[in-house]
Structure 1
Amino acid sequence: MVETLDNLGPNETFDVVVVGAGGAGMSAALVAAIDGARVLLVEHTEYVGGTTAYSAGTTWIPASMHAASVNRDDTSANAEAFLTRAVGERSSAAMRRAFLDAGPRAVAHIEANSDVKYRARPFHPDYLSEVEGSTLRGRALEPLPFDGRKLGRAFSLIRPPIPEFTVLGGMMVDRDDVGHLLNMTKSFASLRHAAKLLARHARDRMSSPRGTRLVMGNALIGRLLYSLLQRGVTVLTSTKVEALHSGANGIEAVTLSRINERRRVAVKGGVILASGGFNRHPKRRGEMLPGADPAWCPGAPGHSGSAQDLALAAGARFGDGALSNAFWAPVSVRKRADGTTAVFPHFLMDRGKPGMITVDKAGKRFVNENTSYHLFGIAMQKANPTTPAVPAYLVTDSEGLRKYGLGMVRPGGKGLAPFLADGYLVEGTTLDQLADKLGIDKNGLAESVARNNRYAQTGVDLDFQRGTTAYQNANGDASSTGPNKCLGPIGTAPFYAVRLYPGDIGAATGLVTDSDARVLNRADAPIDGLYACGNDMQSVMGGVYPGPGITLGPGLAFGYLAARHAAARAKQPASAALTLPLECDTHVPAR
């Protein structure tokens, strides 16, 4: 049930309090409720969903109940060996094993007891597909589409998707929908699929400000919210956790605030922190992500780090040793008509396609355009200071723009005037003119384009080896007739570019926990009654991005572990809480 703070009584007690209503927090709340706990879910912003609502909703869980439908050969042991090679000493091997063990159980448990349903994506390669133990399919789960009308008035609680990822004023589309929409004039099946989408959206807009057919991250959040409300979980939005209160049995209460209202709520089992991490913390962001402008962050606004501050005050500590403190993606930025800022992540629709290159201030390529968005973002920040790659410039010609679009500019090559007028899209009748408008070296750009065009003919990128892994080829153009699906010529004037910036899409560094997601103090002892999952927790991926959904996967797995432990703890007499049988046999801290 959705409540307001003033509706809570003066002596309320909950078994489990979850702080943060993104994918990890909502999953934890749901698992605790399934286990019979009385649960309070507290969200600082006016919406539930967090950055999960903006995302594709992909959840990386190897060896789940769905994996065999697309890949019978993969095993948890294969995934563990893959992570050992990809992540190595950047995170605890025991914590990774805890994730791999809990993930399939979490999927089975939540699907058997709620409306949350997943399916395996038929083809979704691990990003580091060149590493032994990687797979092309089976580990990436996606939520089934959800009918938001089932939520009634609660539908308005779901954070809307990024507008630039929708069409026709709020119609959500997923990977399959995009393909059908682009091919609706060439295929009857695509025309039929598109017609159904458009008809449904037309009906929706008669009664709703946006489409109610939810896909990707919005679908996952919709299913979680529906299941939480069915289970009677109390949901508070626009409410802040102001304090954690300790007692003889650890964390025993929280103080909540909303405008001028305050309530102290007792907690029997524990508090689970899932508030999204430090990315918009007023001080910690500058310390941990130096040089990364907050305006480049495409994440939802709730991850202020305030919940982590409370944990630190209670004796918690941050982890270390990660490749990066955050996960990254190249983004482009544009002011909307209403004055807000659109931050568009360039995941896969343009930069890896044939006829696209990315250059730095000197007009030179500095990265494999088909690498993962995380490694792309890191490469932007590691570029030589004398030839900076922040911003970088994603360059194509009129044919590339027509085929694939460019950031917020949709495929087709039409409707360019507003993008050109505000400078988001830069056009040049020649490469020299484009370079002049961008303020980059024209000789460098001309040379980079010439080298690209030679590579497009031979199919071999001698500089950055584009198109040499399964993942890279998956993000190329399967319909390309060239020798390399990732390479194509740039030569049809006019020429176009957008500016790219490194955008942090989630925290990799967080609170150190054990394998039950219990927050550890500076002596590596659990802080009783305090848990962390999602981006509040130190990532088991060690700042590496091995595959799609490696934030939501661990978020679900450790949310499950935290919830079951906290719910069981709530049922124990106070004196037995410290000797509670644990979900996992081993309890080791994250690095």
Structure 2
Amino acid sequence: MSQTQDETFDVVVVGSGAAAFATALGAVDSGLSAVLLESTEKWGGSSAMSGGGMWLPDNPLMRRDGVGDSREEALEYMEESIGEVGRASSRARKEAFVDGVDDFVLTAERHGMTFARATDYPDYYPELPGGKIGRSIECEPFDARRIQALVPTLRMNMPLPLKTDDVWLLARAWSTPDGFARGAQFVLRTLGGLLTGKKLRGIGAGLVSQFAHAVVVEGGVPLRLGSPAEELVVEDGRVVGVRVGGEGGGGVIRARLGVMLAGGGFDHNREMRREYQGVDGFPSGNPGNLGGPIRLAESIGAATELMDDAWWGASLAPVEGGEPSFIVGKRSLPYSLIVDSRGARFANEAESYVDLGHHMLGHDKDGAYWLVLDARYRRRYLRSFALDPKVAKAQREEGIAFSADTLEELSGRLGLDTATFRSTIQRFNGFARSGRDQDFRKGDSAYDRYYGDPTVHPNACLGTIEKGPFSAYKVVIGDLGTKDGVLTDADARALREDGSVIEGLYAAGNNSASVMGRTYPGPGSTIGPAVVFGLRAARHMAGQVMGGHRGRARHATPPAAERG
């Protein structure tokens, strides 16, 4: 569709991930007209590539299940785990997040979205005051036939009905009873979908697909691909629209009430990463995350915060032309450890990925790290990163993966200090036998043990490294996206450095500085705030109009993605 003619909507949304869809959902629920502008030819953003979980404390699903939680406990936990490391993590923003949870869940359900709790998934610091287990929710697997015209352009169309627990339980499907049971459940769920003719999609793909059905198919909101925002239109100090590029190019889409920037961070912009973070990075998020919306906001005076930070973590180094593999649960399993370029441990391998990423950055930003595996790890657990024979061969040829019959031989192949590596292994094995990691406390937290192997005693996350052949895989500093961007208030309004509001401009998701500060309180701490602040922004826009816009006829559009 050519954008040579100016158009007007109540709400203009830049992006097509969870924050963008939540804003558009709020517009639909308030009877406002809206449009989604996606810069690439694929929609769904990093949300479509994610696990799809949303950390939403004190949510309605918990109350329905009789699980105790409260506003006070949620805020206590956020203060303990996050603190206030900047304006983005202020008390007012934390309260706005917690107070917006019910509105998001109930609004989404009202528009046909269905959720399930990740009942056993702990907060990432569950032992802190206010910590809980089971605050994260996810969408139920969704039948993609309901958005059939949109499926070909979905960012990641994984044709499996995966749920959060499947991802790690299947890793030990043949070594533990609960892993085997989950494997059987997954097979039955998959077969059930096939037998009924459904095309079930789970995790992140399922989440954005449910959003698309509610917003685009049912809500009539246009989703325009290949339509990058190139300029914010400002009149009398207020943002009133967006100039859109792409093949049509040059058109202005005006916003009566506001423009939401929800187009992801700058994880794939090497220039910005070097400028703000000092690393090239090994990002696992949407390749369209180039930081354009953040730059647009800066150009009209928006303040930014946390620009040096990201949703860090450990990733397996990619083969040439391949993608890094972000590792979460696999590093918590026993019979494994991670060492630095000398052969020493430096952190709790099972800790939250953001913490491990920060420890890697602080320990040796440019050095090599290695995930070392005992033969029992290879026999007992699914190594998804080594399933493809062609990739495994390339890993060996490119010096990313090694194997050896003895630890001494492995040390030599990795270029480690042999004495340091030998001492590390001996000390680690002592911890594994006693069940207590006296250096880094691996396995002490319920979060660590969530990904461990409950059949291994006395510590589900510790197993000796003594049975060959041994394997090692190169580990690099990866991330799930940058967590820094436009500074916003409790209603996701963009702020200037002096704290004044830029009227008509909003930001959420990784276009905004995270309320989670420099940490990661629980599973889904990226998408949870994204959807809550996206909806809060829409509510604020709707509240600007006396009498509301309910009942206003929405802009007519076919229920499919339009090409810009």
TM over 0.5: yes
Residues 68-77 or 523-532, more deviating: 68-77
Shift of 1:216: 0.6
Match of 1:393 in 2: 370
Point out where structure 2 has 5 or more consecutive residues left out of the alignment: 549-564
Match of 1:576 in 2: none
Residues 558-567 or 152-161, more deviating: 152-161
The answer to whether the aligner puts 1:253 opposite 2:241 as a matched pair is yes
Q: Is the 8 A contact 1:393 1:500 kept in 2?
A: yes
The answer to whether the aligner puts 1:331 opposite 2:308 as a matched pair is no
- From 255, 276, 281, the equivalent of 2:264 is 276
Shift of 1:334: 2.5
Shift of 1:504: 2.2
- From 37, 41, 47, the equivalent of 2:42 is 47
Match of 2:144 in 1: 148
- 3-state SS in 1 of match to 2:317: strand
Q: How does 1:344-363 map to 2 (within 5 A)?
A: 344-348=325-329, 350-363=330-343
- From 494, 504, 519, the equivalent of 1:529 is 504
Residues 147-156 or 13-22, more deviating: 147-156
**Size of the alignment, in residue pairs?**
540
Match of 2:527 in 1: 552
- Structure 2 vs 1, CA of residues 81 and 182 (structure 1 numbering), >3 Å: closer, same or farther? closer
Match of 2:5 in 1: 10
Q: Distance in 1 between matches of 2:246 and 2:291?
A: 18
- Structure 2 vs 1, CA of residues 380 and 82 (structure 1 numbering), >3 Å: closer, same or farther? same
- Structure 2 vs 1, CA of residues 570 and 243 (structure 1 numbering), >3 Å: closer, same or farther? farther
- From 113, 118, 129, the equivalent of 1:132 is 129
- 3-state SS in 2 of match to 1:478: coil
Q: Is the 8 A contact 2:375 2:467 kept in 1?
A: yes
- From 246, 251, 257, the equivalent of 1:263 is 251
- Structure 2 vs 1, CA of residues 430 and 71 (structure 1 numbering), >3 Å: closer, same or farther? farther
What percentage of aligned pairs have identical amino acids?
30
Shift of 1:395: 0.3
- 3-state SS in 2 of match to 1:569: coil
Match of 2:200 in 1: 213
Q: Distance in 1 between matches of 2:174 and 2:443?
A: 29
Q: Distance in 2 between matches of 1:310 and 1:389?
A: 32
Q: Distance in 1 between matches of 2:103 and 2:407?
A: 55
Q: Is the 8 A contact 1:171 1:201 kept in 2?
A: no
Shift of 1:468: 1.1
- From 374, 378, 384, the equivalent of 2:354 is 374
- Structure 2 vs 1, CA of residues 312 and 188 (structure 1 numbering), >3 Å: closer, same or farther? closer
Which structure has more relative contact order (CA 8 Å, sep 6+)? It is 2
The residue type equivalent to 1:492 in the other structure is: K
The answer to whether the aligner puts 1:157 opposite 2:153 as a matched pair is yes
Match of 1:33 in 2: 28
- 3-state SS in 2 of match to 1:553: helix
- 3-state SS in 1 of match to 2:331: coil
- 1:354-407 Cα deviation digits (max 9, x unpaired): 111110111000011111111111111111x5xx77321110111112222446
Match of 1:429 in 2: 405
Q: How does 1:494-513 map to 2 (within 5 A)?
A: 494-513=469-488
Q: Is the 8 A contact 2:428 2:464 kept in 1?
A: yes
Shift of 1:67: 1.2
Shift of 1:345: 0.5
- From 160, 163, 167, the equivalent of 1:174 is 163
Match of 1:93 in 2: 91
Shift of 1:136: 1.4
- Structure 2 vs 1, CA of residues 500 and 234 (structure 1 numbering), >3 Å: closer, same or farther? same
Q: Is the 8 A contact 1:70 1:120 kept in 2?
A: no
- 1:148-205 Cα deviation digits (max 9, x unpaired): 11111211121116xxxx6xxx54633454546964898688547515525756998x
Q: Is the 8 A contact 2:487 2:495 kept in 1?
A: yes
Match of 2:562 in 1: none
Residues 239-248 or 363-372, more deviating: 239-248
TM-score relative to the length of structure 1: 0.85
TM-score relative to the length of structure 2: 0.89
The answer to whether the aligner puts 1:74 opposite 2:63 as a matched pair is no
- 1:492-524 Cα deviation digits (max 9, x unpaired): 111001111111212222211111111112321
Q: Is the 8 A contact 1:69 1:120 kept in 2?
A: no
- 3-state SS in 2 of match to 1:142: strand
Q: How does 1:409-558 map to 2 (within 5 A)?
A: 409-410=386-387, 417=393, 419-480=395-456, 482-558=457-533
Residues 190-199 or 70-79, more deviating: 190-199
- 3-state SS in 2 of match to 1:74: coil
- 1:272-324 Cα deviation digits (max 9, x unpaired): 0011123234533212211x224x1111112211111111111111125x9x6
Match of 1:579 in 2: none
Q: Distance in 1 between matches of 2:181 and 2:439?
A: 42
Match of 1:343 in 2: 324
Q: Distance in 2 between matches of 1:423 and 1:123?
A: 38
**Aligned-residue CA RMSD (Å):** 2.7
Q: Distance in 2 between matches of 1:202 and 1:287?
A: 52
Q: Is the 8 A contact 1:181 1:194 kept in 2?
A: no
The residue type equivalent to 2:336 in the other structure is: M
Match of 1:311 in 2: 297
Q: Is the 8 A contact 2:257 2:504 kept in 1?
A: yes
Match of 1:21 in 2: 16
- 3-state SS in 2 of match to 1:66: helix
- 3-state SS in 1 of match to 2:147: helix
Match of 1:402 in 2: 379
